[in-house]
Amino acid sequence: MQQGKPSLHTTSWQLITSYWFSRKALLAWGLLLITITLNIGIVLINLYLNHWQGNFYHQLQYYNYAGFISALLDFSLIGSVYIIISGFQVFFQMMLQMHWRQWMTHHYLQRWLHDKTYYYMNHLLHNADNPDQRISEDVHLLATNTLSLFLGLLKQIATLITFITVLWQLSGNLSLTVNQTPITIYGYLVWAALGYSIIGTCLITRIGRPLVRLNVLQQGYEADFRYALVRFRENDESIALYNGETAEKNKFMRIFHNIYANYGKITITSKNITWLTVIYSQVSIIFAFLMASPRYFNNEIQLGQLFEISGAYWYVHSALSYIIDSFSKIAEWQSILIRLTQFTQNMRKAQLLLKATQDLTIHPPVNDSFIAKDLSIQCPRKEFLLKNLSLRVTAKDNILITGPSGCGKSTLLKTLTGIWPFSQGTLAHPPKEKLILVPQKSYIPIHTLYNVLLYPNLHTPITRLAMQETLKLCQLSFLTEQLDQENNWGEILSLGEQQKLAIARAILHQPDWLLLDEATSSLDTETELYMYALLKRMLPKTVLISVGHQDALKKFHTLKLELDGLGSWQLSKLPAT
């Protein structure tokens, strides 16, 4: 293993323990201590109830009506306390689960969004798992299952310590003769429970071991199926125009076949586990009676003591059988932990790959100029799109980038913002808050139109009047009265209207540098020229760096950068208009 690269087990351990040593540790440990205390209280009540059960059957055996009524009153009191403690135990455990989930969700979102890790995972890791499921579902399940299993284990340990002493005292001694040698087994019911549980645990572990791997695969196949359905919904119009329903259905069924086939294996394994678990549980019901019956029929113990022995044995047996009873849950927990651990390692791997592929040095601007020096850009296949580009863009310049399709025009704009991983060279550009890149299809969040226009800086002091006037200028007058409506605007608006909305958003934010990646390609020529003229009028101090194919756009720019897609480039001045 490479030094500094944490193993799967190390990452898993850090994943589970990080919350308990964070800034929220005091609250976490406090809630955990309360929950453990309540669990111990439940165990002690169970101890009293087991003793009560022996006394209750004793009163029945001797037809003691007064003792019978007294036992019922005792049960009512202790039962009420049990109900109250159980309710608070569930309350504090669920509160702890939610606090842990909240912390982990914030932690994962921060790591996933930091330094655009989400972007590099998509572009550098071809087998990256679905982060939406990891963050939304697996984080929740990890917090819930870890607490449930851990607190359940502590409760069973407390139960074992409490009841094994009782069972030892009640079970007495078993005398046997082997080869004419008398043998006395002290506390024989304790040893019987221990042996029975060890055999059952070994068998269930052996049979159920494949379930962990199968659960990991199942979650991956389910995520692939969900992703395919989401993509279908996002592209429903294009699919409808292509009449692609049959092709999509066949694709869905191919993906679902993996779910079906793997679930079949899970079903077989679960069936075997269930058979063994049911046999184990059913035999255990009468096991204590069978083991204690010789003493009862020899008049060594009474009926009440027999039931008290049975109850104590059941608690000891239940504690020793915790792995068997929780095996499916443990297998699910292990698969969740593996998925989240791999997701954590993938985030780290994406950043490491970025450092290995990107050799881009970014400096603050010099005299408000945008400078590129010896800038080279590759596509993911490692083929050069641009070699050794050097240029200086001042506040008086506006650049039009041209070239054939696929030559790297859009990739150059991504590189100028600093996010394209396959790039080398030196850049000096203004702070990111002064630069906006408007792609061909802009991201429009599902929000009110007011917040869509503010995105991503939702606290920008822009008045509603300014928004309405800008929408009118961008030929979106019909939206001026819908600022407070929350909709999926990316579905409601046409591509041309979305591009107008993106330009309106850029005008409102007043950037110093505006990068336009065919941002008006869905507009007719007349409207496209109008939108560029509007940008020049509303943003007179903003530098435009545009990707476009229309010769008519030259009049809005002072320089033309032409790419050929083979690495060569040519920078020329455009005639003033």
DSSP for 283-307, written as a single string: HHHHHHHHHHHHHHHTTSS-HHHHH
Bond prior to 6 in cis (omega within 30° of 0)? no
pTM of the full structure: 0.77
CA distances, 432 to each of 123, 286, 536, 555 (Å):
21, 73, 21, 27
In this predicted structure, what is the pLDDT of residue 339?
86
Residues 349 and 383 in one domain: no
* 338, 459: one domain: no
The residue assigned the tokens 């990256």 is: 128
Residues 385 and 453 in one domain: yes
The total of other beta-carbon atoms located within 10 Å of residue 109's CB is: 14
Q: Tell me, yes or no, whether 330 and 441 share the same domain.
A: no
The gap between the terminal CA atoms of the chain, to the nearest Å, is: 63
Output the six-digit token pair for 530: 């109008």
**Residue 507: C-alpha distances to residues 393, 400, 536, 539 (Å):** 21, 19, 10, 7
Phi, psi of 534 (to 5 degrees): -65, -40
Whether 2 maps to a domain, the answer reads no
Q: Per the domain annotation, does 88 fall within a domain?
A: yes
Alpha carbon distance 296, 310 (integer Å): 12
Q: What angle do CA 285, 287, 290 make, to 5 degrees?
A: 125
Domain end residue (candidates: 331, 357, 383): 357
Same domain, 275 and 126: yes
DSSP 567: B
- Sort 386 into a burial class: Cβ within 10 Å, 0-12 / 13-18 / 19+: buried
> Can you give the residue range of the structural domain that contains 436?
361-573
In angstroms, the CA 469 to CA 457 distance is 20
- Measured distance CA(36)–CA(30) in Å, rounded: 10
In a domain, 65, yes or no: yes
Within this chain, do residues 30 and 170 fall inside the same structural domain, yes or no? yes
Q: Is 542 helix (H, G, I), strand (E, B) or coil?
A: coil
Q: In whole angstroms, what is the distance from residue 251 CA to residue 451 CA?
A: 37
Q: At what angle do helices 8-17 and 139-171 cross, to 10 degrees?
A: 80
Angle CA(320)–CA(325)–CA(331) in degrees, nearest 5? Answer: 115
Co-location of 382 and 297 in the same domain:
no
Establish if 449 belongs to a structural domain: yes
CB neighbour list of residue 102: distance below 8 Å, 6 or more residues apart: none
- Is 348 in contact with 114 (CB distance < 8 Å)? no
Q: What is the CATH number of the domain that holds 84?
A: 1.20.1560.10
Q: List, as own/partner pairs, every contact residues 5-12 make where C-beta atoms lie below 8 angstroms and the sequence separation is at least 24, other chains included.
A: 6/345, 8/338, 8/341, 8/342, 8/345, 11/341, 11/344, 11/345, 12/337, 12/338, 12/341
Domain assignment present for residue 1? The answer is no
Structure tokens at 333: 């927990």
- Tell me the C-alpha distance between 61 and 356, whole Å: 81
Element (H, E) at 436: strand 435-438
- Is 397 found in the same domain as 341? no
Please tell me the predicted confidence (pLDDT) of residue 577. 64
Rounded to 10 deg, the angle between the 525-538 and 464-473 helix axes is: 140
509-553 residue pLDDT tens: 999 999 999 999 999 999 999 999 999 999 999 999 999 888 889
* pLDDT number for residue 176: 67
The domain boundary residue, chosen from 324, 357, 390:
357
- At a CB cut-off of 8 Å and minimum separation 6, what does 81 contact? 45
SS3 content of the chain, % helix, strand, coil (to 5): 65, 15, 20
Render each residue's pLDDT in the chain as its tens digit; 577 residues: 344 456 667 878 888 889 999 999 999 999 999 999 999 999 999 888 888 887 887 888 788 888 889 989 999 999 899 999 999 999 999 999 999 999 999 999 999 988 888 888 888 886 666 788 888 888 999 999 999 999 999 998 998 888 888 878 777 776 766 777 777 777 777 888 888 888 888 888 888 888 888 888 888 888 888 888 888 887 876 788 778 888 889 989 999 999 999 999 999 988 888 888 888 777 877 777 777 777 778 777 777 777 777 777 777 877 877 877 788 788 888 888 888 888 888 888 888 888 877 788 888 877 778 888 999 998 888 888 899 999 888 888 899 999 898 888 999 999 888 888 888 999 887 787 888 999 998 889 889 999 999 998 878 889 999 999 999 999 999 999 999 999 989 889 999 999 999 999 999 999 999 999 999 999 999 999 999 999 999 999 999 999 988 888 999 999 999 998 888 999 999 887 6
Query: Which of 301, 322, 357 is at the close of a domain?
Result: 357
Q: Are residues 352 and 385 in the same domain?
A: no
CATH number at residue 428: 3.40.50.300
Residues 432 and 483 in one domain: yes
Instruction: Compute the distance between CA of residue 105 and CA of residue 103 in angstroms, rounded to an integer.
Output: 6
Q: What residue has token string 């572009």?
A: 123
Q: Quick one: which of 549, 469, 481, 478 has its CA closest to 507?
A: 469
Position 3 scores a pLDDT of 44
Q: Is the dihedral of CA 138, 139, 143, 144 positive or negative?
A: negative
Number of domains in the chain: 2
17 lies in a domain?
yes
**What contacts 121, CB < 8 A, 6 or more positions away?**
112, 128, 131, 346, 347, 350
366, 290: one domain: no
- What are the DSSP E strand ranges found in 364-433? 370-378, 384-393, 399-402, 423-428
Residue 281 lies in a domain: yes
* 341-382 per-position pLDDT tens digit: 888 888 888 888 888 777 888 888 777 788 889 999 988 888
* Nearest C-alpha neighbor of 188 from the set 170, 206, 200: 170
d(CA 61, CA 568): 101
Mark whether 525 and 427 lie in a shared domain: yes
Within-domain flag for 549? yes
Query: How many Å apart are CA 545 and CA 467, to the nearest integer?
Result: 24
> In whole angstroms, what is the distance from residue 8 CA to residue 267 CA?
28
